[in-house]
Amino acid sequence: MRADRLVAVLLLMQARGRVTAAELAAELEVSVATARRDLEALSAAGVPVYPQAGRGGGWSLVGGARTDLTGLTGPEARALFLLAGPSAAVAPTVKSALRKLVRALPQTFRADAEAAANAVLVDSARWGESDRERPALVESLQDAVVRRVRVELTYAGRKRERTTRLVDPWGLVDKDDIWYLLAGTDAGQRTFRVDRIVEAAVTGIPARRPDDFELDRAWRQVVDEVERHRSLESATVLVDARFVHVLRDHFGRHCEVGETQADGRARVRVAAPTPLSIAQLLAGWGAQIEVVDSEPVREQLARIGAELTARYAAGLPNQRDS
């Protein structure tokens, strides 16, 4: 993201004293125009950088100024350490970085930052399970993203057919312990499940990446598209208002709660990829739920009910004889 690049520009200027836009462009693998815009953005943001024209010129920090993160507010410092703190338990490099950041903070923020870093612990293992490890390829893919070099992927699709392609890695996403690689291809942006990547050969070929690419924005678009396909069919149901929270657990974001009727039942709109998907999630409710507006879902519920009756009713005692 651009914020990462601006920090990198500032650190390079601190390390070298004076840099040109061309040097920054080569170092950060962006265009000279982008490097110049970044330098101008730092100046506009109040960072004491200034240009010198002529031979031997470039951009410098006024008086060799250095940043000590004094621009951070107290809440911002706490938020930063709350986010990074849990990772320090499993990554020694994060713990080392946090220690250095604490020393760079203004004295008044240090106590809160240290407390925030130790306020949350993430234990990814479920009860009775050992810790889950990241896929082996994540580290090499992450390295390729940071170095901005292309990767040759051997990928197994949904039907397990294998293809090989050269991609520009743009970012990695961990969603509920499933890792995804967002990358540029000849056909545009694509998303690859890391657990379907059979091989990943990191090349020395520079990767192309749009200057305005932001991983969080790109991932939101992916999520929106997936969720759109997951909600192609919908149905309105009536359920006792006390149990609406259970429906929310079943359908997640595809559950919209409406008004509660005089009989205590809430009107709820649910959605899923197909009528069968909805019926499968509702079948266990029996007569506690009434589908009021979707004939396809009703038909699927009736079919499921008939199948269950045919299989299990014969073994039950006749209620009239009991």
How does pLDDT run across 157-198, given as a tens digit for each residue?
A: 877 789 999 999 999 998 877 899 999 999 899 999 999 999
pTM, full prediction: 0.56
Q: Cα Rg for the chain, rounded, in angstroms?
A: 28
Domain that holds residue 85: 74-117
In a domain, 124, yes or no: no
Judged by average pLDDT, the poorest of 106-110, 213-217, 254-258, 272-276 is: 106-110
Query: Long-range pairs for 88-92 at CB < 8 Å and ≥24 separation?
Result: 88/117, 89/121, 89/122
What per-residue confidence (pLDDT) applies to 322? 47
Shared domain check, 111 and 143: no
How does pLDDT run across 159-170, given as a tens digit for each residue?
A: 778 999 999 999
Shared domain check, 105 and 30: no
- Contact call for residues 163 and 192 (beta carbons, < 8 A): no
Shared domain check, 215 and 143: yes
In a domain, 78, yes or no: yes
What per-residue confidence (pLDDT) applies to 311? 87
The answer for residues whose C-beta is within 8 angstroms of residue 109's C-beta and 6 or more apart is 72, 74, 77
Shared domain check, 240 and 224: no
How does pLDDT run across 309-318, given as a tens digit for each residue?
A: 988 887 666 6
- Contact call for residues 297 and 279 (beta carbons, < 8 A): yes
The highest-confidence range among 23-27, 106-110, 214-218, by mean pLDDT, is 214-218
Shared domain check, 152 and 223: yes
Shared domain check, 43 and 78: no
**Number of domains composing the chain:** 4
* CATH for 221: 2.30.30
What per-residue confidence (pLDDT) applies to 219? 92
Shared domain check, 220 and 149: yes
What per-residue confidence (pLDDT) applies to 39? 83
Shared domain check, 223 and 143: yes
In a domain, 195, yes or no: yes
Shared domain check, 275 and 302: yes
- Which residue, 228, 261, 287, sits at the end of a domain? 228
* CATH for 257: 3.30.70
Q: Tell me how far apart the alpha carbons of residues 38 and 13 are, in angstroms, rounded to a whole number.
A: 12
In a domain, 144, yes or no: yes
In a domain, 129, yes or no: no
| Residue with more model confidence, 232 or 11 | 232
Shared domain check, 302 and 243: yes
pLDDT at 62 over 90: no
Shared domain check, 263 and 204: no
Pairing of strands 188-193, 197-206: unpaired
- Contact call for residues 32 and 22 (beta carbons, < 8 A): yes
In a domain, 122, yes or no: no
Shared domain check, 211 and 149: yes
- Provide the mean pLDDT of the chain: 81
In a domain, 126, yes or no: no
